[in-house]
């Protein structure tokens, strides 16, 4: 092969490599977590037994994220008019997301004994579905179970 052809191929190859974008992609969860999410289902695993804990007929729950804080709200859709099904629950705090590792510090909660607790979860994001999975452990309340929650982004 001719030296000019080899030199031209080398220059073209060097140009393509040097012009290619080298920015590392950010984790999808970090780019897309901010917003409002509606709980679709949740499960609790304790001592090897799995319990479906949501959906619950007549209830709704949302979770909201900004860049540093989260909040969740659960209520009955009958606006408390039926005392046997009336429910309201809420909590909020700060979080840190590193890749798929989500660490939550629950600062405020209507279940006051859960306040000031830290939990570590794994998040995965598939299109508009956010899956949160991890252990909730509070020795003082004898709580030690795994949860799996699936949220759908609210548009």
Distance CA 132, CA 61 (A): 14
Domains observed in the chain? 25-153 (2.40.128.490)
67-117 tens-digit pLDDT: 999 999 999 999 999 888 999 999 999 999 999 999 999 999 999 999 999
User: Residues, the chain, total?
Assistant: 155
Q: Specify whether the CB–CB gap between 29 and 97 falls below 8 A.
A: yes
4-57 tens-digit pLDDT: 554 445 555 444 444 444 444 344 444 579 999 999 999 999 999 999 999 999
Tokens coding 59: 């209830």
Distance CA 71, CA 34 (A): 12
The per-residue pLDDT for 32 is 74
Average pLDDT score over residue span 129-141: 97
């Amino acid at each position: 092969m001719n030296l000019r052809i080899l030199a031209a191929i080398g220059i073209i190859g060097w140009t393509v490599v040097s012009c290619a974008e080298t920015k590392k992609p950010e984790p999808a969860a970090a780019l897309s977590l901010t917003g409002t999410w509606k709980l679709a289902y949740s499960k609790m695993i304790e001592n090897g037994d799995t319990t479906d804990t949501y959906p619950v007929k007549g209830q709704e729950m949302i979770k909201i994220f900004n860049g540093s804080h989260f909040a969740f709200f659960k209520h009955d859709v009958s606006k408390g008019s039926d005392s046997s099904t009336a429910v309201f629950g809420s909590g909020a705090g700060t979080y840190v997301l590193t890749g798929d590792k989500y660490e939550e510090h629950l600062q405020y909660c209507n279940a006051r004994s859960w306040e000031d607790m830290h939990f570590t979860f794994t998040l995965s994001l598939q299109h508009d579905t956010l899956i949160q999975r991890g252990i909730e452990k509070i020795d003082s309340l004898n709580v030690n179970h795994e949860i799996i929650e699936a949220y759908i982004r609210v548009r």
